[in-house]
Amino acid sequence: MFVEKRLKPGAIKFFRTQSPRHFEGGDWNQGGSCNRQNPLLPEQVEELFSLKNNGTNVEARLVNQHLYKALEGSGFLILDITHLSEFRADAHPSAAGGKKHDDCMHWCLPGITDTWNDLLIAQLNNVLI
């Protein structure tokens, strides 16, 4: 793998999975929006993101499946933020701050991105101990 050849021996290699989108009713430029005001329940996550339903963020789940296989045995540690972030459809509302905008890719509310950092630190601690 290109990255492994370029790094110094003993380097810690992380791969972070994709941040999910929560568009409903179309893509960001086709009428989609993120108007949820509460975290999703497990059954709502499965309904919205499932592969069998060709869900909203189905491509992220498919890409992650392929990445897990491709990185198997590579020495990369995988920081899987996708599934836990799927629950937080409320964290990047399209009407954040009272303004209507169509950018559901950015996380407007604190919390979820802080959790990603906490997971990274926990994995680093496990490697370094």
Residues of the chain with pLDDT under 70: 1, 27-29, 53-57, 92-109
What confidence tens digit (pLDDT) does each residue in 10-45 have?
A: 888 899 998 887 777 776 667 777 778 888 999 988
Query: pTM of the entire structure?
Result: 0.76
Q: Whole-angstrom Cα distance, residue 86 to residue 57?
A: 9
Q: Token pair for residue 67?
A: 């990445």
36 SS3 class: coil
Which of these, 71, 77, 73, 68, lies nearest to 14 by C-alpha position? Answer: 77
Ramachandran angles phi, psi of 11, nearest 5° = -65, 145
Q: Look-up: residue for tokens 């309904």?
A: 47
